[in-house]
Structure 1
C-alpha cells in the first residue's frame, strides 16, 4: 500500500510541468543536450519527420508529448540520433539524458491508470467466426463457408482482429441472419439418414467443351475422356455432364476414378515445359453449378485431393473419401500438366508432315471449323506428350459414421428432440455459443420466441431452430466476452483460445473455467503448452505469420506469367507460404531463438520450391527441413513469401522492401509520405537505375529524412527478383545490382549477408518488434504508450530465457495486458 502511494506521488510530481522545469538535471543536462544536438533538425526553423523539440513540454498526460519523449529515448538508445554524419556525443554526455528520460517515463507509466489500453468490445472476424461455427457444431467446413457473403474485415497495422476496426453494420447483420439460416439447416438433421446411392459414369463423361484436343479425343470415340493440360480459367476441367446438379445431400462420399497416365517423358520439352522427373498427378476439384459453368474455372472451386500416378499407360483406380456439399460435383484435373498447349505449334514443329498449311483466311467459317476438327484429331492421334485418360468415375454416398451426425447431437444429444424441454436445449447450446454461463434473462426472450412458433403450428424441432438462429445472431455470440479489470476464467479461456486457435475454447478449458482454476499460473502455463501442441494451433501459425509478415498480400498483385513462368508451373503461391509456416512452426515447437528469423542455416522446402532456390536433391511435394549452404537464403529475408509479398508482380522496389523491414523486423515504421510528394515509380525502361532515381528523390529535404532510413535496407534485398529468385542484374543490357550501402546509423554493408550480420546485432530491437506484434495480435488491440513497461518486461524476460519463440508466446499470454481489460 505504501509503495503504491509512493509511486503515485512520484508520478504526479514527475508529470507536472512546473516540477520538471525546476529539476536541475532536466534544465542543465537534458534541455541543454537537446538544444545543442537536436534543435538544428527539430527546432523552430526545421522540423524533420514533423518533430519539434524546442517547444516540447513535459505534460506526459498528452499522448503526443509522451510518444515524442519515448521516441527520443528510443532513437538515442538505438544510436540513430544524432545522425551519423553529424558530430557524435560522447557516451558520458548522452547517458544522463537517456537515464533521466527513462526514469521519468517509467515513473509516469507506473502512476498512470490509463482508460486506454483496453480492448474495445471485439467482434469475431471472418476467420474466427468460421472456426467457431466448426467447433461449436462439429460441421465440416471443407467447402462450406458461411462468411462467403460477409464484407472483408477492416485491418489496422496489418491485423484483422483489432476490436475498434471490427465494426458492425446493417449489411453485416443481414448477412449474419442469412448465415444462421444456412448453419442451422446443415446442423439440424432430424429423421432417417439419406439413402446411400452409387452414381457411375463412363465415356463420354464430359460431352462438350474442353478446349481443342479434349473434344478431338472425344470425337475419336476411343472409350475414354482425355485431359491434356492443367486447369486455367477456361480449360482443363473434366466435368460430369450427366451430374450437373451435383450430390443431393451434404456429407462424405467415396469418389473413385479409373484413369491412366501417359508419356511423362516426351519429345516436346521446349513446347510444353513440363517437369519430366515429377510424377504426373490426378486432381479432384469440386464445384457447384450454382456458381458457374462446371467445365471451366468456377468461383466455388476447391481442391479436395491429388494422387501421384504411374505413367505406364495402365488403368488404375484412385479412390478417396471426400466431403461434398449439396449441389457440388467432383471434377477431374491434371494439376501439373502443361500450362499451355498449342496444337498448331505441336504439329508445325514436331510433325510438320501432318500440318495442313492451308491459308485459313480464304476459308469460310464452316470450312475453317472442319479444318480445325481434322487437324486436332490428327494432333491427338499422333500426340506423344503427357495426358491423363479417364475411363470411369464413381460417386458413392452420403456415408455417415453415425446418425444423427455430430452436428445434430451437439445440440439435441441422442434423445428424441420432441421429448426434451426447449429450455434445456437452448441453455446448453447458448452456454457453449456464448462461451460462458448464460443468465436466465438471456434465454427467456429466446424461449418465448420458440414457444410462440410452436403454438403457431411449428414442430418442436422447427421451433427450436428459430431459437438456435437467434443465439447465433446474438451479440453474446458475435462478440468476445471480456469483463472489466482482471479477466475471469471464462473470459480468459476465450481470449486464450482465440489467440492460439482462432476459435472457441474446448471442453477442457471450459471445465477449468468452471472450477475457477484457469487463472492459476501453473494451470495457465500447462494449458498454453497443451494448446500449442493441438492441431488447431495451426491457426496461430498461419494467421499470425500472415498478418505479421503481410503474407496475406500474396496474390493481390500476381507475378507476370510471361516473365515468371516457374511461379505458376511449380504452384509456388501455395508453396512459398507453406515454407514460412513450417519454418515458424519448427522454431515454435523447438522453442528456438527468434534470431533464426533474422538468419538461419535451414529452411523447409519441397521439390517445387527447390527449383526456385536452385537447391538440388529435394524430391516430392512434401515439405522437409533442409540445410542451407548458401548464407544469402537463410532467415525470413530469404523467404520467397516475404519477397513476393513486397513486390508488385513485375519489378521490385527498394522502398517497399525497406519499409517492410522497418515495420516488421526493426519495429520503427517511417511516417507516411507527405501528400504533396509524387510517388516514385520504378524505371522499367532501363534509362536510369533505381538507385539513381532514389538518390534524386532524397534531394527533397522532406523526403530525405525517411528515405535515408528506408533505401539502404531495400538495396540489401535487391538481388531477389519479384518472386524471390536470386539475380545478379536487372536483365540483359541492364546494370548489375549493387546491394551495398550505409544505414542511417553509419553501419556499412557490402551485400545481404553483411546486412543480416548488422540485424543480428540488433536482436533486442527485433525482439521488441516481435513482442509488440504478437501482443497486438493476442489482445486484439493496438498498443499504447502505457503498454511500454510491460513490453519492456517481456523483452527483458525473453532475453534472460534465451529468446525462445515458445517462451515469447508464454510471456505474452501471461502478461498484464493479456490478462486484463
Structure 2
C-alpha cells in the first residue's frame, strides 16, 4: 500500500496537481484537507488560505519533506513568525517569489502571485512590527573595543592602546557595532577591568608624579654602525654627516639600537632624510618600523613610510613604541631592487659608488608624549589642591588635599559618571558607586585611592559599556550618543551634551547642523576609516601575503598605500556629496607615486596622495577597482569569481547570498594554469543546489577576473614558471550575463549595467549606514524606511553626504 508518507505519493501528488490545477486544491480546502504546513501551526497561527494555496500549488513539489531542494522543507515550515529562523525562511520565500526567481520556469497568473505577495507582506510586516514595538530594533548594544579605548582615553586624558587588552570583536552583517554579535563573558569583563586599571593608574601617576615628556635627539654619530663590528646598522658617511640605509634582504637590516626606548609610550618621531643615487622614479620609498629587531622577537610594528627625494625633508610620525623596541628604517620598494645581504657589510662607500639607491638620515628626534597637566588635573580632580610631598616615600611628587573629602568625592564621582554614562545621572543612581568609593576612603584615607576605585566601578558599569536606549523614540541624550559614536566613534562632546540637556537635539534643523559639524571636524576620519574598513572588509588586507613567485613586485609600501586610496576616495565622496554611483565608476581616484606606478597611471609630480583624473582606458574608475578591495577578495595566489561575486552582491549591489550547502566541495583554482576557472565553475554549476545562487554570483565575479591578486590589470592569468618566476597563462574571459538578460563583455559593460541601478546602489548604502550607526541591520519592517531614504536622496543623485543626513533623520536612527 502507498501511504501519504511514501516518496512516490509526493511525486504523484506533485504531478497530479500540475495537471488538474487549482480546482483540485480548492476541493481539498472545501473538504478541510489543508496542506501539512497549515495544520502544523500553533493555535491562533493558522496559515492564511491564500498563502497555503500558493505554497501547495507552486512550491511544495520541490520543497517538500522528501525533496527539500535548497534545504527548504515547506511542508514542515510553520507560520510561527516569533521564531527568528522561521521568519527569515518565510522572508526568503517572499523575496524569491517577488523577484521572479521562484518557482523556476513556471507561468503564474499575476493575480495569484500578487495575492500571495500582498498577504505574505502584510503577515511578515505585522509580525516584525510587533517585535520592534515590544523590544525595539536593537538589542542591548555595547561599545566596541575601539570605542571603549577612545572613550576611556578621552575621559582620563591619556592615549593608551587599551584595545590590545580586549577580546577581538565578532562581526555580524559586516560590522562590529551590531548588538547581535556583541557577547560579554567573564573573560571580557576581566579584560575591561585590566584596561580600566591601566588607564586609571597611568592617569593618576602622570598627574601626581609631575610627568614630563622627554625629547632625545640622535645625530648621525649615534646612529651609525660600528665599522669594526657590523650588526645590521646603517653605514655612516662622515663627509655628509649622515647615515645610509640600503634596500637589502638581510633580516632586520636598517635597525638602530640608539633609538631603543626605555618606557612603553606614545612617541613623536621626527626624521630628517633624503634619497641618494635617486632612481628614475624620482624617490626612494622606505618603511619605518619598531621592534626588538632580532629573531628573539621578530614581530615588527608599522610606524609609517618615508617618500625620500633628493631634497632633505623632515618626516614626522606618532606611534606607540614598546619598552626596549628600536626603530628600523630601510628602503622597501621592489622597483629599485635589493642588494645581497652580504654586501651591506662591505666597507662604507662601496654600495654608494655602485650607484645603488638608498636613504640618507641626518638625525632622528624622539619625544615621549604625555598628557597636558592642566587638562589632566581638571578631568581627574577638578579644583582639588595638589600639595607637593616634601619627603616622598614613593614615586608620587604630589598628594591630593581637600577640606571636605566626602563632599569632593561625591561631586567628582557624579561629574565623572555623567560624562562616562553620556547623560544626566540621578543621585539615586550614583549611590552604589559612591558607597564603593567611600568604603575605600574609610579604609585608606586616600583621595587618590577612593577616586580611582569609584572611577574604576564607573568604567566597568553596564551604564558605561552599553548604549542606554529604551524601546520607542530615543531621547536627546541617546540621539547624541548614537550620532557621536557614528561619526567620531566616541562619546558626545560638550556642545552635543548641552543640546541634549536642553531637549533641542531632536529638532530636525538642529540635528542637521550638528551632523554637519561632526562631519566637518577632522575627527570624522574615524567614521571614514572604520566604516570603510568593515563595509568593504579591508580588515582582511593583512590576512594573506601575495605569492612572491607570482607577484614579486608587491612590497610593503604598496601594501600600506592600498587602504589610503579607499579612505581618501570615500572622504571625497562625503565632503562633496558625490553620487553613490562613484562606488561603481568615477573619473578620479587618489594615489601616491607608488600606487600610480602599480596602476600604470601618469604621476603628476609632487609627493603624498593626490587626486588624479582617470578614464575608462585607465581601468581605475570606482571603488570596485581599488587594489584594496581586489586584494581582500583574493587569497594571495589566485582569484575566485565566487568570492568576488559574493563580495559585489553583498557590499555593492545589496543582495544577500546564503552560505553554500555543507556537502558541496569548494572550487580550487588551478595555479598551474592548465584549467580555467570558468571551466571549473561550469562543472560546479551543474550541481542543482549550486546553480540557483551562481546565476547571481558569477556575472559580477567574472567581470572582476580582469584584476589579479594584488589589483593589477591582466589579460591573462599568471602561472607558475620553471625557469621564470611566472609565465603568462590562459586568457581571462570576463564576459557574462545577468538573469535579466543584460549581457556584458568586460568590466566596462558591467559598470554600464550597474550605473543604471542607482536606486539599488543607494538602498544598499543606506542599509549599511543604518546597520553601522544603529547597531542592527534593517529588517522586513524597516524596508519602507530604507525606500524613503532612497527617495529623499534621489534629487541629490543619492549623494553620500545627503544619504548620511537622511539616515540620521530617519526613524530607524531616532528610535531603538
TM-score > 0.5 by shorter chain: yes
Residue 494 of structure 1 corresponds to which residue in structure 2?
A: 481
The structure 1 residue matched to 2:223, chosen from 187, 202, 205, is 205
The structure 2 residue matched to 1:342, chosen from 324, 328, 339, is 339
Deviation at 1:397, TM superposition (A): 6.8
- Change in Cα spacing, 1:565 to 1:91, as seen in structure 2 (3 Å) is farther
Say whether the 8 Å CA contact 1:16–1:59 is kept in structure 2.
no
Residue 169 of structure 1 corresponds to which residue in structure 2?
A: 185
The structure 1 residue matched to 2:358, chosen from 378, 384, 387, is 387
Say whether the 8 Å CA contact 1:216–1:380 is kept in structure 2.
no
Residue 520 of structure 2 corresponds to which residue in structure 1?
A: 533
- Change in Cα spacing, 1:296 to 1:612, as seen in structure 2 (3 Å) is farther
Say whether the 8 Å CA contact 2:285–2:331 is kept in structure 1.
yes
1:301 is aligned to 2:301: yes
User: What per-residue deviation string (whole Å, max 9, x for no partner) do you get for residues 352-404 of structure 1?
Assistant: xxxxxxxxxxxxxxxxxxxx96x66684474421233445545567788x5x2
Equivalences for residues 266-305 of structure 1 within 5 A: 276-280=280-284, 285-286=289-290, 292-293=292-293, 299=299, 301-303=301-303
Equivalences for residues 503-652 of structure 1 within 5 A: 503-568=490-555, 571-630=557-616, 632-652=619-639
Residue 13 of structure 2 corresponds to which residue in structure 1?
A: none
Deviation at 1:642, TM superposition (A): 1.3
1:807 is aligned to 2:794: no
Say whether the 8 Å CA contact 1:776–1:783 is kept in structure 2.
yes
The structure 1 residue matched to 2:813, chosen from 803, 815, 818, is 818
Deviation at 1:418, TM superposition (A): 1.8
Residue 256 of structure 2 corresponds to which residue in structure 1?
A: 239
The structure 2 residue matched to 1:262, chosen from 273, 276, 289, is 276
Greater Cα shift, 464-473 or 636-645: 464-473
Aligned partners of 1:301 and 1:679: how far apart in 2? 35
The structure 2 residue matched to 1:465, chosen from 431, 452, 455, is 452
SS at match of 1:770: helix
Aligned partners of 2:331 and 2:706: how far apart in 1? 31
Equivalences for residues 649-688 of structure 1 within 5 A: 649-688=636-675
Residue 762 of structure 1 corresponds to which residue in structure 2?
A: 757
Aligned partners of 2:775 and 2:228: how far apart in 1? 48
Aligned partners of 2:163 and 2:429: how far apart in 1? 26
User: What per-residue deviation string (whole Å, max 9, x for no partner) do you get for residues 134-178 of structure 1?
Assistant: 3323334xxx30121222111112211122322122222222222
Size of the alignment, in residue pairs? 744
Equivalences for residues 335-414 of structure 1 within 5 A: 335-336=331-332, 341-343=338-340, 379-380=350-351, 382-390=353-361, 392-395=363-366, 404-413=373-382
Deviation at 1:793, TM superposition (A): 3.1
SS at match of 2:543: coil
Deviation at 1:694, TM superposition (A): 0.8
1:427 is aligned to 2:389: no
The structure 2 residue matched to 1:20, chosen from 32, 41, 48, is 48
User: What per-residue deviation string (whole Å, max 9, x for no partner) do you get for residues 266-306 of structure 1?
Assistant: xxxxxxxxxx323346766455xxxx347998647342674
Deviation at 1:651, TM superposition (A): 0.7
SS at match of 1:735: strand
- Change in Cα spacing, 1:615 to 1:36, as seen in structure 2 (3 Å) is farther
SS at match of 1:626: strand
The structure 1 residue matched to 2:772, chosen from 756, 773, 777, is 777
Residue 7 of structure 1 corresponds to which residue in structure 2?
A: none
- Change in Cα spacing, 1:216 to 1:447, as seen in structure 2 (3 Å) is closer
Say whether the 8 Å CA contact 2:581–2:755 is kept in structure 1.
yes
Aligned partners of 1:748 and 1:40: how far apart in 2? 32
User: What per-residue deviation string (whole Å, max 9, x for no partner) do you get for residues 4-31 of structure 1?
Assistant: xxxxxxxxxxx9776932xxxx38xx94
Equivalences for residues 73-152 of structure 1 within 5 A: 73-81=94-102, 83=104, 86=105, 98=117, 101-102=120-121, 114-115=133-134, 117-140=136-159, 144-152=160-168
1:154 is aligned to 2:170: yes
Greater Cα shift, 738-747 or 442-451: 442-451
User: What per-residue deviation string (whole Å, max 9, x for no partner) do you get for residues 45-88 of structure 1?
Assistant: 644433456777666556556545543443355454455xx366
SS at match of 1:555: helix
SS at match of 1:721: coil
SS at match of 1:715: helix
Residue 185 of structure 1 corresponds to which residue in structure 2?
A: 201
Say whether the 8 Å CA contact 2:136–2:472 is kept in structure 1.
no
The structure 2 residue matched to 1:752, chosen from 747, 752, 764, is 747
- The alignment's C-alpha RMSD in Å is 3.8
The answer for unaligned runs of 5 or more in structure 1 is 1-14, 266-275, 347-371
- Change in Cα spacing, 1:327 to 1:61, as seen in structure 2 (3 Å) is closer
The answer for unaligned runs of 5 or more in structure 2 is 1-42, 386-399, 719-726
Residue 360 of structure 1 corresponds to which residue in structure 2?
A: none
The structure 2 residue matched to 1:703, chosen from 690, 701, 713, is 690
Aligned partners of 1:210 and 1:413: how far apart in 2? 57
Say whether the 8 Å CA contact 1:176–1:473 is kept in structure 2.
yes
SS at match of 2:731: coil
Residue 396 of structure 2 corresponds to which residue in structure 1?
A: none
TM-score normalised by structure 2 residue count:
0.81
Aligned partners of 1:464 and 1:328: how far apart in 2? 33
Aligned partners of 2:151 and 2:809: how far apart in 1? 24
Say whether the 8 Å CA contact 1:282–1:309 is kept in structure 2.
no
TM-score normalised by structure 1 residue count:
0.80
Aligned partners of 1:210 and 1:40: how far apart in 2? 85
1:791 is aligned to 2:786: yes
SS at match of 1:388: strand
The structure 1 residue matched to 2:699, chosen from 688, 700, 712, is 712
Say whether the 8 Å CA contact 2:236–2:348 is kept in structure 1.
no
- Change in Cα spacing, 1:422 to 1:215, as seen in structure 2 (3 Å) is closer
Say whether the 8 Å CA contact 1:38–1:82 is kept in structure 2.
yes
User: What per-residue deviation string (whole Å, max 9, x for no partner) do you get for residues 465-513 of structure 1?
Assistant: 2322222222222222223332222122112211222111111111011
Aligned partners of 1:525 and 1:547: how far apart in 2? 25
Deviation at 1:722, TM superposition (A): 0.8
Aligned partners of 2:440 and 2:461: how far apart in 1? 19
Say whether the 8 Å CA contact 1:237–1:296 is kept in structure 2.
no
Equivalences for residues 225-236 of structure 1 within 5 A: 225-229=243-247, 234-236=251-253
- Change in Cα spacing, 1:652 to 1:322, as seen in structure 2 (3 Å) is closer
- Change in Cα spacing, 1:392 to 1:666, as seen in structure 2 (3 Å) is closer
Say whether the 8 Å CA contact 1:177–1:469 is kept in structure 2.
yes
Residue 418 of structure 1 corresponds to which residue in structure 2?
A: 401
User: What per-residue deviation string (whole Å, max 9, x for no partner) do you get for residues 609-658 of structure 1?
Assistant: 21122111333442222222126432222121111110001110011111
Deviation at 1:796, TM superposition (A): 3.6
SS at match of 1:234: coil
SS at match of 2:554: helix
